Amino acid sequence: MVVANQPEGEAVTVSAYDLDLPTVATSSTGVIPPEDVEALGDQWLARTRFGFAMTHYEDFFEIKRDRRFHKAIELVQSSEVDLGDSETLKDPGKSLLQLEGDEHTRLRRLVAPSFTPAAATRYREFMRLVLNDLVDDVSASGRCELVADVCDQYPVAVICELVGAPREDWRLFSRWALDINRRFDNNLERDLPIINQANQELFAYLEEMIDRRRSQPADDLLSHLIAAEEEGDRLSTAEMLTMVKLVLLGGSDTTRNQLGLSVAVFAEHPEQWALLRENPELAAQAAEECLRYLGTIRGITVLASEDVEYRDTLFPKGTIISLSVTGANKDPGVWEEPTSFDITKPRENRQVIFGSGIHTCLGAPLARAELQEALVVLATRMPDLEFDGPPTWMPTSVAIWGPESLPVKFRPGVPRTDLA
């Protein structure tokens, strides 16, 4: 056996499988428990039941930017259950999450103009409107269950506005998102029929919308995707269907959970909530600190597409590596006071929840805008926020994690601010 941390000047390339490494527990989605991340300390590499784990900031960026490592979340998930001949997890076209190389570059180049910070900014007024409407329903009582009353409804409304779906169909999109995202709940055997039904209904709805937009374009995502062209190359209908599904799933589950987590953190730091209410210009910094401090995405799994040498260690083709987002975002070697939550403290480094490299989250500008606008509206209209009972949490094994319920109370009757 060889110890992973070789003395300087004695670097020798050895197989990761021959190293004497500590072992950490991971879920089927590659999530490493925070206590195991902390226990590893300076140890850069650990063993898991699937392969290996890395928890440090620099390793996260190096591995994510290395194109020899591909995303492996689908592989790790499907290893838990025999899917047989099911077509459930197969989309009409391949998504950006599944593609690598030239195929990925082509598709991302065509859709990227629809997901810029400027494109996201166009929806900020609508975000504020939706949030204020949701708060109106609970403001008089001064208490609510934030997940059901706000978090579950907010991102789907934004995505429907983005896609061009009318208000009367918001509930449909919400149900489809919840049902299809069951694929991350580690019980595919039970959930496959529900996922399949939601997939079929969503794609049938979107196909009709695409047909209408071809002859009657509007100022929405589907129309922009239909019009997207570069050197004669266009998106196929299958690619558009898969892209909109990715936007719905990626933008709903992550945003609702991240908003719930962020408010939970603020409930534990009431002085920070008051600061944000008094200084809404801190919104962008506050959102980044929430994403760093307690993020809904806690791990990313990659697969070596060929033999890869990294840090004098050989990772053979097929090796699975779990990268800890939590560890990178609280790496004491990178962050000053990493376990403190302070929205007034500028952070020189950037948090890693949106990934890095060619698979950096395309929807990051929209997600940032949604979180920023939501935090300002809620801080303004829910002063003196505190828990109104203990929150309940999703199982720690799920890929996209957050509160199942978040009862809060606050000063009632604060009027909305978007009617001037």
Backbone angles phi, psi at 162, to 5 degrees: -60, -45
Q: Are residues 212 and 197 in the same domain?
A: yes
Q: Are residues 267 and 136 in the same domain?
A: yes
Count of domains for the chain: 2
Give the separation between CA 263 and CA 242, rounded to whole angstroms: 32
10: containing domain: 1-86+298-352
Q: Give the DSSP per-residue string, 137-151.
A: HHHTTTEEEHIIIII
Q: Are residues 250 and 277 in the same domain?
A: yes
Please calculate the CA angle 193-299-319 and round it to the nearest 5 degrees: 90
Q: Are 139 and 131 in contact (CB under 8 A)?
A: no
Q: Which residues of 360-387 are buried (b: 16+ CB within 10 A; e: fewer)?
A: ebbbbbbbbbbbbbbbbbbbbbbbebee
Token look-up 């900014």 returns 121
Q: Are 172 and 64 in contact (CB under 8 A)?
A: no
- Can you say whether the dihedral through the CA atoms of 15, 17, 23, 29 is positive or negative? positive
Q: Are residues 348 and 381 in the same domain?
A: no
Q: Are residues 2 and 40 in the same domain?
A: yes
Three-state SS at 99: coil
Question: Residue 108: its pLDDT value, please?
Answer: 86
Q: Are residues 281 and 204 in the same domain?
A: yes
Q: Which of 306, 337, 352 finishes a domain?
A: 352
Give the separation between CA 225 and CA 242, rounded to whole angstroms: 12
CA dist 346 to 120, 264, 349, Å? Answer: 23, 21, 9
Rg over CA atoms, the chain = 22
Q: Are 32 and 322 in contact (CB under 8 A)?
A: yes
Q: Are residues 106 and 41 in the same domain?
A: no
- CATH number for 348: 3.30.43.20
Q: Are residues 285 and 388 in the same domain?
A: yes
CA dist 36 to 53, 216, 239, 251, Å? Answer: 11, 54, 40, 29
Question: Residue 81: its pLDDT value, please?
Answer: 42
Backbone angles phi, psi at 351, to 5 degrees: -65, 160
Q: Are 340 and 128 in contact (CB under 8 A)?
A: no
Q: Which of 352, 375, 397 finishes a domain?
A: 352
- CATH number for 418: 1.10.630.10
Walk along the chain (420 residues) and give the pLDDT tens digit of each residue. 344 454 455 556 899 999 999 999 887 667 888 888 889 999 999 999 989 999 999 999 999 999 999 887 545 444 444 444 444 456 776 667 676 788 888 888 888 888 899 999 999 999 999 999 999 999 999 999 999 999 999 999 999 999 999 999 998 998 998 888 887 666 778 889 999 999 999 999 999 999 999 999 999 988 998 898 766 888 889 888 888 888 888 888 899 999 999 999 999 999 999 999 999 999 999 999 999 999 999 999 999 999 999 999 999 999 999 999 999 999 999 999 999 999 999 888 899 999 887 778 889 999 999 999 999 999 999 999 999 999 999 987 777 899 999 999 999 999 997 764
Query: Which DSSP category does 114 fall into?
Result: G
Give the separation between CA 341 and CA 343, rounded to whole angstroms: 7
CB atoms within 10 A of CB 203: 19
Query: Which DSSP category does 336 fall into?
Result: S
Q: Are residues 45 and 73 in the same domain?
A: yes
CA dist 84 to 59, 81, 189, Å? Answer: 36, 9, 10
Beta pairing partners, 52: 47, 321
Task: Provide the terminal-to-terminal Cα distance of the chain, rounded to the nearest Å.
Answer: 70
Q: Which helix (H) or strand (E) holds 323?
A: strand 320-324
Give the separation between CA 8 and CA 95, rounded to whole angstroms: 43
Closest CA to 378 of 122, 100, 138: 138
Q: Are 173 and 256 in contact (CB under 8 A)?
A: no
Q: Are residues 247 and 343 in the same domain?
A: no
Give the separation between CA 385 and CA 368, rounded to whole angstroms: 22
Question: Residue 255: its pLDDT value, please?
Answer: 94
Q: Are residues 96 and 189 in the same domain?
A: yes
Token look-up 């983005």 returns 162
Q: Are residues 137 and 286 in the same domain?
A: yes
Q: The tokens of 256 are what? A: 């609702």
- Can you say whether the dihedral through the CA atoms of 367, 369, 372, 374 is positive or negative? negative
Question: Residue 76: its pLDDT value, please?
Answer: 43
